[in-house]
């Protein structure tokens, strides 16, 4: 599947992004089908080829959430913005995985405690029924 995405270029602390189209799983820094524009995040300046972007979207290309929101805010395409996840935030799928993992961990921790209680109960009954030692 083809995806329109951002590829980082520029210096370490002065990033500039290219707007590219490439296969979804491919490295954005390798071979690309076409460079569709560039975005300077510091000046909030987007230079994009509207006709080529529309051409690829008509052919079934997808966009990353960041590109979608950027193109909508610059009024290149119409639509609604989507929530792009940020660092530190977890997706709904990941939250479900973490909850499942936590519940399994609680269940695993609960078993040994119950076994320990049963063992202590068995020891108590054994000491109560045992005859007392006779001192001579």
Q: What pLDDT score was predicted for residue 48? A: 92
Its pTM stands at 0.60
Inter-residue contact 63 to 80 (CB < 8 Å): no
Q: Say how many domains are in the chain.
A: 2
**Residues 35-66: tens digit of each pLDDT:** 999 999 999 999 999 999 999 999 999 999 99
Is the domain of 25 the same as that of 60? Answer: yes
Q: What pLDDT score was predicted for residue 115? A: 63
Is the domain of 6 the same as that of 69? Answer: yes
Residues 6 or more apart whose CB falls under 8 angstroms from that of 18 comprise: 6, 7, 9, 35, 37, 38, 39
Q: Does residue 119 lie in a domain region?
A: yes
Inter-residue contact 24 to 2 (CB < 8 Å): yes
Q: What pLDDT score was predicted for residue 78? A: 87
**Residues 70-98: tens digit of each pLDDT:** 999 888 888 888 887 766 565 677 778 88
Domain with 93, as residue range(s), is 89-130
Q: In this structure, which long-range contacts are made by residues 69-76, counting pairs with CB atoms below 8 Å and at least 24 apart in sequence?
A: 70/39, 70/46, 74/46, 74/48, 76/46, 76/48, 76/50
Is the domain of 93 the same as that of 60? Answer: no
Q: Does residue 64 lie in a domain region?
A: yes
């Amino acid at each position: 599947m083809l995806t329109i995405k951002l590829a980082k270029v520029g210096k370490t602390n002065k990033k500039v992004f290219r707007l590219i189209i490439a296969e979804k799983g491919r490295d954005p820094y390798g071979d690309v089908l076409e460079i569709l524009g560039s975005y300077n995040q510091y000046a909030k300046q987007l230079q994009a080829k509207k006709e080529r972007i529309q051409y690829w979207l008509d052919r079934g290309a997808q966009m990353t959430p960041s590109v979608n929101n950027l193109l909508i805010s610059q009024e290149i395409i119409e639509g609604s913005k989507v929530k792009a996840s940020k660092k530190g935030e977890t997706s709904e799928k990941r939250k479900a995985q973490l909850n499942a993992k936590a519940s399994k961990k609680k269940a695993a921790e609960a078993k040994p405690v119950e076994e320990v209680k049963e063992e202590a109960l068995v020891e108590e009954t054994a000491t109560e029924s045992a005859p007392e030692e006779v001192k001579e």
